[in-house]
Structure 1
Amino acid sequence: MTEAGSSGAGSTGPRAHPQDGGGRSLFGPDAQFHRFFNDPRWALAVVRATVLEAAHPQVGAALIDNSTFVAHPWRRLRNTLVSLQRMFGADDRTRQREAARLNRLHARLSGTDAQNRAYDAMDPAVRAWVVATLFESSVTMCRLSGQPLDQATMEQLYAEFRAYLAALGDRAGHLPPTLPEFWRYYDRVVEEELENTDAVRLILYKLFDHLPAPPLLEGLPTAWAAGRTVAGPVIGAITVASLPEAFRRRAGLPETPGAQTLMQGAYLAAGLARFLPEGWVRTEAVTDLLSLTPGGDDPRAAALDALRGQVKRAGALFRLVAPLPAQRTAEQAGQRPGTRGAERAPDSREAAARVRGSGEFFTAVLDQTGDGYLDWPDLAAMARELSFRLDLDEPQETRLYNAFAAWWKELQADLDVNGDGRISAQEYADAVPSLAGPALIRVAEVLFDVTDADGNQYIDAEEYRALFRTGFHRSVAGGEVRYSRAAFVKDFLSFMSGRAASTAYDPLFTQA
């Protein structure tokens, strides 16, 4: 098996695709990975792999301290899938850029867990385990759905994942060179190293039960909540049933009656999608659809907005015919006494000017990790999301991170009353601060600079879409579309000071 060479941040120029012993490319459209990427069963496999990743003490600690997977799972899922596409795609330069970005991201994630054990996302053994879970879960999904992989296909897939690890700059030797050795390695880690971490419990017992609606369905909270109430426990039970028995036993995970049958039925049902016409089930199309921003200029967004409007009108008519009993008072529901429920849902123009309470702003925008506090990982998550959207190179990315770091120091100095190194919702609400200080102004200036890719001191329509993923509705005299530095900084400060919601800026940080 020929291994991929190391490709760190300093790599330049195109390079021949790594190949296996049979001369087949380990990257690109002919790779086995792409066959699985658009397989609906892979959604179940990825969830399973995520739990196994989180069960590793170092990975679990890094997720708890830094990840936005609880508060913003759909955003994290989309970014992960885009990253995998870049890494397994045919373009070597794109793969090198993405590998360098991942290495910069991982280099920023280190610390200690609740038991004072160190974790480091750049630990090669830890990164090897993450890749191992993706490979093993892909193999397992085929076995559970009655279509086990033959030996040659399994070896090809394993070679691809080892090449992925090598493309990150790690020695592929951190994953055993042969499949028999891999299974011994995998069984040893499962039996000796995995734990029932806080991250595992969050995924299995909180994430699925409280999964926020994707942007596509944000306008249908009742329907989403009803579906989640049923689907959440089912997904959790299916995932637990699919985990290795040795881990379930050591972690004390419950054995739900009938879960094994339910799990195998789910994998079999998902496997039937292979009979659908080619192109009907494409992962990137589904994730793009789920992340569409209402009010955007994408034709699909307009169609979905119209459909949502029809569903809302039908729901309103149904409530008139068969009104539901009141469950809460007007004050508990968050509306002024004497107002009607329908009046609490302003249209997009009203939403742009709606005053946002400090508690709502803290939860929706500042607390990116969803742990109830504001600290550096929350602002780092903002910088990470912006860098990913704009696909920034190292110098620009570092400038953005440094600007957010300076803002965190300013916030900490002004708002951390008890000196515990983080800001609680109460500390934020008590201060009722105006956040538009010098450091936040610097964040706005740097964000404008990195968004203005051509350096003409204006953000044009294409640059605007790269940042906001929505339509560009600004024009000046003569019909030229552009966004000036002064206007951008003013709007960004208005949003980030927590004074008002913004239909343009909200999706940057509030999108689930």
Structure 2
Amino acid sequence: MTDTPTAEVPLFGPGSKFDTFVDDPRWALALVRALVLEAAHPQVGAALLDNSTFVAHPWRRLWNTYRSLRRMFGADDEVRAREAARLNRLHARMRAGAGERPYDAMDPEVRAWVVATLFESTVTMCRLSGQPLDPAEMDRVYAEYRAFLGALDGEEARLPGSVREFWPYYDRVVAEELENTEAVRIILYRLFDHVPAPPLLHGVPTLWAAGRAVAGPVIGAVTVASLPEAFRKRAGLAEVPGAGALLRSAYFGAGLARFLPEGWIEAETVVGLLSASPDGDDPRVRAVRDTVRRAGAFVRLVTPLPAEPAWAPPPSDDAGEFFDAVLDQTGDGRITWPDLAAMARELATRLDLDEPQETRLYTAYADWWRELQSALDTDGDGRISREEYAAGVPSLAGPALIEVAEVLFDATDTDGDQRIDAEEYRRLFRTAFRRDLSKGGEGAGEAYSRGDFVRDFLSFMAGRRRTTPFDPLLAQA
């Protein structure tokens, strides 16, 4: 028997508490807090370090996470089931049974903890902003998150049946299992201080760096102050003097957004703009891009800040830049299998692939990884350093990489006509055609041929050219 309400309003879709909170600016603070609590679990922290792109590509990761949550909490049962299956396939590929940090992303207890952090951080969000949930609302929110866990893997019973039973469970995990993991330290003391500019702000790097220098420590201090006191003490996370007042001010200020006219703040629009390519053809992107450029020009006119050079892709012969921006997807300074798996994951996510196409793409990348190891891993340590990469760049475009290009083409060419038309192109690159298709054979002006696609992909992945549509696809933060 539980005290979770059986509400008339469905747990998912319009009218749900999730639907209410998702456009609430406070929720951004709550999600950061939840991420830290997730990363403090040893298994989650290890999985994040090995597999996640949140350090090198935070805005891309933000968009993918937001879209996934929208699908899982939406009203369409079929969409939810399909997204759950995709997430389960993704998590099934994230496991390590050896070494100092074993983990399994399919561990049901770990998955329950991830959902628990979302619920508890939502409750804390409301309390800190002076709008605490009443018992009925709290029961409702808890029912939605348990239903989310059930939709994900059918194991909603991994979380206690009621809110009353949840708090002892939560306190026990905080007291007995959480640690000050390396992933926690990266989030609190590296991510916020070094987060790259979103693509639309590449044109104002000085302003971004200045704003980040102020906002980064503030977000870190607010997040630390919001964490459970028991965890802060065990982890040795010092609370900055005045952080408590700053914490309450941040949540209270974000909570004032409820007085804005409806529709003024929509998470989908904000997240979409933050992760959009600056060269996209969306009119909203162009409007923001033009506004940013004008703002940058105005600031340069009225302040002594040095001129901001226009952003441009790194030189094509700069192996180190390409290594960092494209190949090192996880941002740990080396190439390992998780970096290539992250590429496959991003491409499969963009194309919304199901089985068996998704597995075929991962298999092609796995074959390329073995080829790279054979050619570049000269010291046999199972990873490729920047120096090993620079010495063996010509070895990147071998037969296995050609197979990756072929598989990607087949996955994009949904109608199987051996051409990528405008709609298929937009599905992969999220923009209209960005290459000159007016020359070539018959119909070249209307589609991307297999030969051209494979040639461009190989040129990009071998680090020979950074001006193709593949640059924002895999290099964009």
Shift of 1:295: 2.0
Q: Whole-Å Cα distance in 2 between the matches of residues 456 and 2 of structure 1? A: 55
Q: Is the 8 A contact 1:124 1:170 kept in 2?
A: no
Shift of 1:118: 2.3
Task: Name 1:406's counterpart in structure 2.
Answer: 367
Q: Whole-Å Cα distance in 2 between the matches of residues 243 and 28 of structure 1? A: 30
Q: Whole-Å Cα distance in 2 between the matches of residues 2 and 401 of structure 1? A: 43
Query: Any idea what the Cα deviations from partners look like across 1:47-95, whole Å, max 9, x if unmatched?
Result: 0000000000100010011111111111111111100000000111110
Change over 3 Å in CA distance of 1:101–1:20 after alignment to 2: farther
Please, what TM-score do these two structures have when normalized by structure 2?
A: 0.95
Structure 2 residue matching 1:373: 3-state secondary structure: coil
**Aligned sequence identity (%):** 66
List aligned pairs for 1:71-220, cutoff 5 A.
71-112=56-97, 116-220=100-204
Task: Name 2:452's counterpart in structure 1.
Answer: 487
Q: Is the 8 A contact 1:191 1:246 kept in 2?
A: yes
Task: Name 1:433's counterpart in structure 2.
Answer: 394
Shift of 1:453: 1.3
List aligned pairs for 1:306-321, cutoff 5 A.
306-314=290-298, 317=301
Query: Any idea what the Cα deviations from partners look like across 1:91-148, whole Å, max 9, x if unmatched?
Result: 111101100000001000111586x352100000000000000001001100000100
Query: Are 2:280 and 1:296 equivalent residues in the alignment?
Result: yes
Instruction: Read off the aligned partner of 1:496 and give its amino acid letter.
Output: M
Query: Are 2:53 and 1:68 equivalent residues in the alignment?
Result: yes
Query: Any idea what the Cα deviations from partners look like across 1:288-322, whole Å, max 9, x if unmatched?
Result: 11122122211122223323333444455458xx5
Q: Is the 8 A contact 2:204 2:293 kept in 1?
A: no
226-235 vs 22-31, greater mean Cα deviation = 22-31
Query: Are 2:374 and 1:374 equivalent residues in the alignment?
Result: no
Task: Name 2:9's counterpart in structure 1.
Answer: 24
Q: Whole-Å Cα distance in 1 between the matches of residues 15 and 300 of structure 2? A: 50
Structure 2 residue matching 1:388: 3-state secondary structure: helix
Query: Any idea what the Cα deviations from partners look like across 1:125-182, whole Å, max 9, x if unmatched?
Result: 0000000000010011000001000111111111111111111123211000011110
Query: Are 2:417 and 1:456 equivalent residues in the alignment?
Result: yes
Q: Whole-Å Cα distance in 1 between the matches of residues 326 and 27 of structure 2? A: 31
Q: Is the 8 A contact 2:12 2:144 kept in 1?
A: yes
Q: Is the 8 A contact 1:298 1:471 kept in 2?
A: no
Instruction: Read off the aligned partner of 2:41 and give its amino acid letter.
Output: H
Shift of 1:283: 0.6
1:416 aligns with one of 372, 377, 388: 377
Q: Is the 8 A contact 1:99 1:167 kept in 2?
A: yes
> Unpaired segments of 5 or more residues in structure 2?
none
Q: Is the 8 A contact 1:57 1:194 kept in 2?
A: yes
Instruction: Read off the aligned partner of 2:388 and give its amino acid letter.
Output: E
Q: Is the 8 A contact 1:356 1:501 kept in 2?
A: no
Change over 3 Å in CA distance of 1:172–1:484 after alignment to 2: same
Q: Is the 8 A contact 2:419 2:450 kept in 1?
A: yes
406-415 vs 499-508, greater mean Cα deviation = 499-508
Q: Whole-Å Cα distance in 2 between the matches of residues 302 and 171 of structure 1? A: 45
Q: Is the 8 A contact 2:119 2:145 kept in 1?
A: yes
Instruction: Read off the aligned partner of 1:399 and give its amino acid letter.
Output: R
Structure 2 residue matching 1:296: 3-state secondary structure: coil
Instruction: Read off the aligned partner of 1:242 and give its amino acid letter.
Output: S
Q: Whole-Å Cα distance in 2 between the matches of residues 355 and 461 of structure 1? A: 27
Task: Name 1:331's counterpart in structure 2.
Answer: none
Instruction: Read off the aligned partner of 1:211 and give its amino acid letter.
Output: V
Task: Name 2:31's counterpart in structure 1.
Answer: 46
Query: Are 2:206 and 1:222 equivalent residues in the alignment?
Result: yes
Task: Name 2:43's counterpart in structure 1.
Answer: 58
Instruction: Read off the aligned partner of 1:367 and give its amino acid letter.
Output: D
Query: Any idea what the Cα deviations from partners look like across 1:29-54, whole Å, max 9, x if unmatched?
Result: 11111111111000000000000000
138-147 vs 469-478, greater mean Cα deviation = 469-478
Q: Whole-Å Cα distance in 1 between the matches of residues 192 and 379 of structure 2? A: 34
Change over 3 Å in CA distance of 1:38–1:241 after alignment to 2: same
Q: Whole-Å Cα distance in 2 between the matches of residues 31 and 119 of structure 1? A: 33
Structure 2 residue matching 1:501: 3-state secondary structure: coil
Q: Is the 8 A contact 1:495 1:501 kept in 2?
A: yes
2:18 aligns with one of 28, 33, 38: 33
Change over 3 Å in CA distance of 1:144–1:468 after alignment to 2: same
Structure 2 residue matching 1:394: 3-state secondary structure: coil
421-430 vs 105-114, greater mean Cα deviation = 105-114
Q: Is the 8 A contact 1:142 1:149 kept in 2?
A: yes
Query: Are 2:243 and 1:268 equivalent residues in the alignment?
Result: no
Task: Name 1:383's counterpart in structure 2.
Answer: 344
Structure 2 residue matching 1:433: 3-state secondary structure: helix
Structure 1 residue matching 2:396: 3-state secondary structure: coil
Q: Whole-Å Cα distance in 2 between the matches of residues 51 and 132 of structure 1? A: 13
Change over 3 Å in CA distance of 1:447–1:2 after alignment to 2: farther
Structure 2 residue matching 1:374: 3-state secondary structure: coil
Q: Whole-Å Cα distance in 2 between the matches of residues 323 and 294 of structure 1? A: 23
Instruction: Read off the aligned partner of 1:253 and give its amino acid letter.
Output: L
List aligned pairs for 1:469-508, cutoff 5 A.
469-473=430-434, 474-476=436-438, 481-508=446-473
Q: Whole-Å Cα distance in 2 between the matches of residues 408 and 449 of structure 1? A: 20
Query: Any idea what the Cα deviations from partners look like across 1:186-235, whole Å, max 9, x if unmatched?
Result: 01100111000000000000001101111121111100000000000000
Structure 1 residue matching 2:46: 3-state secondary structure: helix
Q: Whole-Å Cα distance in 1 between the matches of residues 467 and 71 of structure 2? A: 31
Instruction: Read off the aligned partner of 2:291 and give its amino acid letter.
Output: L
Q: Is the 8 A contact 1:58 1:120 kept in 2?
A: yes
Please, what TM-score do these two structures have when normalized by structure 1?
A: 0.88
Q: Whole-Å Cα distance in 2 between the matches of residues 361 and 229 of structure 1? A: 26
Q: Is the 8 A contact 1:458 1:485 kept in 2?
A: yes
Shift of 1:345: 4.5
Q: Whole-Å Cα distance in 1 between the matches of residues 111 and 336 of structure 2? A: 26
Q: Is the 8 A contact 1:407 1:440 kept in 2?
A: yes
